[in-house]
A and B are shown apart, each in its own frame.
Chain A
Amino acid sequence: MAENQRTIEIEVLRYHPEKDKAPYQQVFQVPFTDDMSVLQGVQYIKDYLDGSLSFRWSCRMAICGSCGMMINGKPSLSCETFLRDYYPARVRVEALAHFPIERDLVINMEGFIEKLESIQPYIIPREARTLAQGEYLQTPEQLNVYEQFSSCINCMLCYAACPQFGLNPAFIGPGAMALLHRYNVDSRDGGKAERMELVASEEGVFHCTAVGYCSEVCPKHVDPANAVNQNKTNAAADYFLRFLAPKGGAK
């Protein structure tokens, strides 16, 4: 192993709001092996070079969605991005774009959590069922309609990728909209009318200009751009047809 070890330069964005006037870059020399991820690189920095470096991580296997960072300017999960792919060049690691920085690579995700709550990300049963009536049954076709959208791990890479969220943080954004869609098109769910109010609102889908970068950076192959744009059609139909439907849409 020792003979495979090389040294790569990792440039990290540092920011300690109580002490620093502005974020700045700091370069570390990090020994690495072929199997080391960028996350392991910053962990090496914290363990051996500078214990004050702050970043979020947990599972190390692209399941938890904690370790999202801008790596060479691209929103990525640092646990599944490998140092060997950048060597011998320097790799640049920064906090996720478009979010306020709490410290170093840790962003403030409060706005996202509020959005997540606002979409009511749980099944609102179409009809009340007693235990005796048994489970909800669903055909494979009904599962297919929403399954890919249920893979979201809330890593917020799509928000760091979205230029419209960058320009206006009030925009509901790709991730929350993909999850909203996941519940709206679930055959067991009856909460669509409530959620459509958000879709059709001024913070809703129409901020999107169909850039599609959100879907490109998604580590779980969810297609949030598709969810957003399907809901433009839904919101437009709701807008024009609401006068025809007896219980139609939002106010």
Chain B
Amino acid sequence: MEKWHIALVAISIYLVLAFLIGIMAGKGKSFFSLSEYAVGDRSFNLFVMWFLMGGTIFSAFAFLGGPGWAYSKGAASFYILVYCTLGLMPWYVIGPKVAKIGKKNNYITMGDFLGDRFQSKLLTIIVGIVAILAFIPYLTLQIKGMAYIFNVLTYDNIPYWFGAFISFGIVVIYVATSGVRGAAWSDVFQAILMLVIAWILGMYFVQKLHGGIGNMFETINNSNNDFLLIGEEGSAMSKARYSSNIIISMIGFVMWPHLFTKSYTTTEKRIKTTVAVYPIFALFLLPVLFIGFSGYGIVSSDQIENSGQILPYLITNYLTESGLLYGIVGAGALAAAMSSSDAITHGASVSFGRDICKAIYSKIPENIELWIMRGAVFGVGAIAYLIAIFGSEGLIQLLLGAYGPIAQLAPAVYASLFFRKVSAISIIIGLILGVCITIYYQYFAESTLYDLHAGLIGLAFNVTAVFIFSCMCSQSDSEIVKAKEFNEI
């Protein structure tokens, strides 16, 4: 038996397990309940929440992109640690409020929440569209990751399209049948698997290639003095860009509509505890960066097409003793990609059903809405799959690209909870303006002001617009009532 056969068997066993856990999670729960599908009847405990939040963040981006960044950009990759830690902090304050009012008024999405506060269907639809536009590139990224892993680990014997088709197909099926509970329980399994594997790999490569962490960093430092620093001559990222990336992540992180929806899967108290234990998850990311650093000076940059391939390259070239180990690594990387894509696919399906379909035609009965959501799992999945296989772009650019527009939702969310005077029209103008400015600086402008993150510039315009138009336009009567309710929760 060749090595890749053993690897394939190990990966297949993992896929079967993930599939069974995903399907079994929904067993005994109502298949026809919208609340069960969307928010797990608001009953998740701390254990599941931690893995659900962690697994969602710990994506193919972290597993393939993380080492890639460490390898090619050095200290700039610390950004990944920092955003994972800081990102969830605002949730400690807004999460419980969002959960409380959501339970009272029966919300399941961010569109529900904002649309009701500002008494505007239009806003709900805009939020739904922004969400889905951000979900698709994110999902594309995960699918690309899955395809890579299959392709590289089987030495090209499994074609690019087929590996992604099998692994993402499994995700689509268990999300469509078991809803958020399927995503959550498979995340528990996937997160444990990938954390264990990340640590084993990190320690193994550091030891084998450099004989210890200290040696590794000293070698790197000797060859390039600025590689482990931010904003120096030989560093990969300027100080302004590094800082503004972190700020925008902290603002944008909990604005991801699927994370927002997760506020509705649990109770207020558990949200706070989840935030408390979350930084530990960030520490688990450390070895992932070590993997990338260990390749520095060992693998020359012309040996790989792009930096995202550093982990697969190290595995195929330096982890040659055991086919089994090799397969387990593949499973871990797949787990990282799958545990993010299930939550996002689920989020996209719920947004599509509730924020777009239901908002446009409010007479849709609940059971039809549920079937629209299940159908959307396949629809959104198919679109992302096609882009992943036939489209092309650098791994991380895609994800960071989606981050900017998402952060533009922040003024709406914070205003809804803390500022009573803010009106619907100002929020809508601010949101649209912010998204346009962000997209302009991201894709069309030669450079941004002071090298700041495009999303941050958009946000400045967004907030200014919200402020000016709130002073100019008055609220409707029903909006005043809602504003008071949201403010006092």
Asked if A and B are interacting partners, one says no
